[in-house]
Amino acid sequence: MQRIVITGLGVVSPIGNKVEDFLANLFAGRGGIGTIAFPFRGAEARFPGAAVKDFRIEDYIDAKKAPMLDRFAQFAVAAAIQAFQDSGLTLTPETAERMAVITGTGVGGQNTLEESYYKLLDTNGSGRVHPFTIPRLMVNAGSSQISMALGITGPGFTVASACASAIHAMGVTLSMLRSGLIDAAITGGAEACMTLGTLKGWEALRVMAPDLCRPFSAGRAGMVLGEGAAMFVLETEEKAKKRGAKIYAEFAGFGMSSDAKDITTPDAAGAARAITACLHDARLAPEEIDYINAHGTGTHINDAMETAAVKTALGERAKTVALSSSKSLFGHALGAAGALEMLATILAVREDIAPPTINYQEADPACDLDYVPNKARPMPIKVALNNSFAFGGLNASVAVKKWA
């Protein structure tokens, strides 16, 4: 079976719009959660949120083209260009046909959609929508804009499976590379829906924290919405070695499952099946797992469920594995969450440092594993997992191995 390697990294996030900044803030435990405010019915609606800051799409594409892209697609293109440049790849007409763009997003052009509703329905609105409303809001806009920005003419599409979108996209990419359908790919996820309507929707579900995200802590009160994108260049080992590429890590395995039970409440058995499937695909034993980047949303139900799932899948190894939630630093980026957390996982393996779960206060009897509380931990990490568990009962887990 072909080994698949990671040769390029790119990111736009609340803790850094370059990989080096993301890395520094990740391991220093410097979070990007603040307050998001909107005018609302003569007052102000305020929410905790992890927003991308100081982002300029003009640094990546012609400023004249920028208005044609929703914020989520801008993030996708910027992260993809970073990853492509980092990989050192050059494309010919022949190699461009053998490269794919496969990305994930949960919502798509939510900023465009909400802006359009305001213009049409609010008494202060113009009554006219942007002429590129449809091309901006469609969920495949990110992958399509990446292919055009880089000249990639092979397969291109978007996976939309809520919070598992990015990992599902990466898993599909892994399978296509292994099968020989493609030689290389840009893959990852992007999301940008820090809008009043979206935040009010999450608020209505009663799963939003009032201030910070505190995964696995007894004091946790819910999730905090985030945004951003992370993209990766994946290649077959053969092609990467042939061109002398630097290799960050091996993308070793992928597993997924469906709960088939409830649209919002997660199921530990379903999550455990995805982790076990990933171990089987990567030909790994539970004892080989050193670190897990958890889904870790900060809700009471999810964190207890994931703890139980890890125990089921890893058995005795669960007692000693290091496990942390990066959502404590950059929030829950929905369809991009798995991609941002994949970047954290790759960096953990490459740097031999387990990222921290910040804002951790005290232990919860329902969450009794090692969550790397508040401070990053230098430690040998040869193999790591990254979990995403989505509304709809859609579960995914990927394995990353150190490249030697």
Alpha carbon 34 to chain centroid, angstroms: 19
Q: Name the catalytic one among 163, 193, 213, 278.
A: 163
Structural domain contains residue 383: yes
Structural domain contains residue 361: yes
What's the rounded mean pLDDT across residues 265-294? 98
Write down the pLDDT at residue 42.
81
Write down the pLDDT at residue 5.
98
Which amino acid is located at 375 in the chain? K
* CATH of residue 223: 3.40.47.10
Alpha carbon 219 to chain centroid, angstroms: 25
Is residue 332 part of the annotated active site? The answer reads: yes
Write down the pLDDT at residue 123.
74
Structural domain contains residue 248: no
Q: Name the catalytic one among 213, 295, 300, 367.
A: 295
Q: Based on the fold, state whether residues 267 and 130 are members of the same structural domain.
A: no
DSSP readout, 17-46?
SSHHHHHHHHHHT----EEEEEEETTEEEE
> CA-to-CA distance for 295 and 183, rounded, in angstroms?
30
- For 100-154, the pLDDT digits (tens) are 999 999 999 999 999 999 889 877 878 889 899 999 999 999 999 999 999 999 9
Q: Which of 155, 135, 154 is nearest to 145 (CA)?
A: 135
Structural domain contains residue 260: yes
Q: Based on the fold, state whether residues 190 and 301 are members of the same structural domain.
A: no
Write down the pLDDT at residue 12.
98
Q: Based on the fold, state whether residues 215 and 274 are members of the same structural domain.
A: no
- What does the chain come to in residues? 404
Please, what is the average pLDDT of the chain?
97
- Domain containing 307 equals 255-396
Q: Based on the fold, state whether residues 309 and 178 are members of the same structural domain.
A: no
Q: Based on the fold, state whether residues 236 and 283 are members of the same structural domain.
A: no
* Angle subtended at Cα 187 by Cα 266 and Cα 138, rounded to the nearest 5 degrees: 75
| Structure tokens that stand for 236 in this block | 């077959």
Q: Name the catalytic one among 193, 213, 332, 367.
A: 332
DSSP readout, 309-322?
HHHHHHGGGGGT-E
Name 395's bridge partners. Answer: 257, 389
Is residue 193 part of the annotated active site? The answer reads: no
What is the per-residue burial (b if ≥16 Cβ within 10 Å, else e) of 349-387?
A: bbeebbbbbbbbeeebeebebbbbbeebbeeebebbbbb
Is residue 163 part of the annotated active site? The answer reads: yes
Q: Based on the fold, state whether residues 307 and 238 are members of the same structural domain.
A: no
Q: Based on the fold, state whether residues 334 and 269 are members of the same structural domain.
A: yes
Structural domain contains residue 404: no
Helical residues (DSSP H) of 29-140, grouped into ranges: 71-87, 93-97, 110-121, 133-137
- For 141-190, the pLDDT digits (tens) are 999 999 999 999 999 999 999 999 999 999 999 999 999 999 999 999 99
Q: Based on the fold, state whether residues 227 and 322 are members of the same structural domain.
A: no
* Neighbour tally for 68: CB within 10 Å: 16
Structural domain contains residue 113: yes
Q: Which residues lie below 8 Å from residue 257, measured CB to CB, with a gap of 6+?
A: 270, 271, 273, 274, 277, 395
> CA-to-CA distance for 30 and 356, rounded, in angstroms?
10
Structural domain contains residue 130: yes
Q: Based on the fold, state whether residues 222 and 288 are members of the same structural domain.
A: no
pTM over 0.85: yes
- 356 Rama sector, left if φ>0, alpha if ψ -120 to 50, beta otherwise: beta
Q: Based on the fold, state whether residues 177 and 215 are members of the same structural domain.
A: yes
Among 178, 213, 242, the domain boundary falls at: 242
Among 242, 277, 298, the domain boundary falls at: 242
DSSP readout, 154-207?
S-EEEE-BTBTHHHHHHHHHHHHHHHTS-SEEEEEEEE---SHHHHHHHHHTT-
Among 221, 242, 263, the domain boundary falls at: 242
Taking 90 as the threshold, does the pLDDT of residue 94 lie above it? yes
Query: In total, how many domains does the chain have?
Result: 2
Q: Report the percent of the chain where pLDDT is more than 70.
A: 100
Q: Based on the fold, state whether residues 135 and 173 are members of the same structural domain.
A: yes
* Distances 68 to 45, 54, 57, 158 between C-alpha atoms, Å: 29, 20, 11, 18
Q: Based on the fold, state whether residues 58 and 178 are members of the same structural domain.
A: yes
Structural domain contains residue 402: no
> CA-to-CA distance for 97 and 184, rounded, in angstroms?
10
